[in-house]
Amino acid sequence: MPTEPKTHTRVLEAELGTASDELATEVVAVVADFPRTLSAATDRPDIAFKWVARGSGTIVVSVMSLVGIFLLVQGFRAFHVAGPSFITEQSWDPNSGKFGIAAVLTGTVLVALTAIAFAFPLAIGTALYISEYSPLKIKNVLVTIVDLMAAVPSVVYGLWGVFFLSSNILPVSQWIATYLGWIPIFAVSGFDPNDPLATPTVFAASTFIAGIVVALMVAPIASSIMREVFTQAPIGEREGALALGATRWGMIRSVVLPFGRGGIIGGTMLGLGRALGETIAVYLIISPVFVIQPHILEKGANTISALIALRYNEASSFEISALMAAGLTLFLATLVVNFVASTIIARSRSGSQSD
């Protein structure tokens, strides 16, 4: 919106410039003329609305900053003790002063990336089907189902992951490790495919399982954002493409996807933000380890939010300070991801219209 007046004046100046060749004196008079000041009658409801809106905006921003300040104050003691090793240290033993977030932060990112790797194709496929292909009759039902999936509490997904998925996915993990184990991230240390007595628990409680469960939580959110954006693709351009003889898929590729690119990226990143902070499901599934664990199929994972949930109950006051410090890093990481996502959405063509 703010860009529009600028281009307008530029056009005006350009027009005036071409006119100035002939009528220079008049042009001066025109430039000296002031535009009429536009004044809207502000009645009470308008003023009230303005202040309510401004107030709630301020409250949201100040609550966010207060949360950040609270975490910083609470975690300051831990930051002070750990120093720069807080970023590089892998183990977590605050009582002895040896603690850091290197392992848990890496774990958080790995779980989130695994989740996005599953959620992205799922979300984009669902969104495209609902907005472009589904018959009108079932469209609303599908939208409701996807929104309902987003509303299911994460502990439900977590319990499903623990009691159903984690035992049934083991053969899949084993298959991948057997045949794709030469790819470093799929390698599983301590797994020998030729040992018939090998226990499948080396694959339990892994980043992979936690990632899949988080993906199911993230996909509906990403999908509904993408669907919103896809449905806004201009009807004129769609019809233009169809009129030029495009198939439906051709139309989607040439109109809907380029139009919705901002929404796709933004929705994925909002999903990533949620995946970073997902707590209960991860907390229920993982077996925490405090080393950087790049093998996603192997037992043992860790995330910051799960660490906080696992250690909070039996923590001494200094341990709580250390957990708050870890929480602050997560807070900042999520903030950055969400901020970038909203910027991308806002800058895109679809996003600027939807705002």
Q: What's the rounded Cα separation, in Å, for the pair 241 and 245?
A: 7
11 binds another protein (CB under 8 A): no
Is 173 strand, coil or helix?
Answer: helix
Interacting residues with another protein between 260 and 279 (CB under 8 A): 261-262
Q: How many residues bind another protein (CB under 8 A)?
A: 63
> Measured from the CB of residue 205, what is the shortest distance to another protein in angstroms?
6
Q: Which stretch binds another protein (CB under 8 A): 45-53, 144-152, 210-218, 246-254?
A: 246-254
353 binds another protein (CB under 8 A): no
Burial of 150 (0-12, 13-18, 19+ CB in 10 A): middle
Binding residue for another protein (CB under 8 A) from 29, 194, 235, 355? 194
All residues at 6 or more sequence positions from 227 whose CB lies less than 8 Å from its CB, including other chains: 126, 127, 130, 131, 143, 146
Residue 79: other Cβ atoms inside 10 A: 16
> Measured from the CB of residue 48, what is the shortest distance to another protein in angstroms?
35
Q: What's the rounded Cα separation, in Å, for the pair 3 and 231?
A: 25
- Contact by Cβ (8 Å): 355, 270: no
Binding residue for another protein (CB under 8 A) from 20, 139, 142, 178? 178
Strands 98-99 and 92-93 come out as antiparallel
**What is the H or E stretch that residue 98 is in?**
strand 98-99
190 binds another protein (CB under 8 A): yes
* Matching residue, tokens 């679809």: 350
283 binds another protein (CB under 8 A): yes
Considering only CA atoms, give the Rg of the chain: 27
Interacting residues with another protein between 111 and 140 (CB under 8 A): none
200 binds another protein (CB under 8 A): yes
Q: Which is nearer to another protein, 174 or 338 (CB)?
A: 174
Binding residue for another protein (CB under 8 A) from 85, 95, 140, 144? 95
Which chain residues interact with another protein by CB under 8 A? 91, 93, 95-98, 162-163, 167, 170, 178, 189-190, 193-194, 196-202, 204-205, 241-242, 244-247, 250, 253-254, 258-259, 261-262, 283-284, 286-291, 293, 299-300, 309-319, 347-349, 352
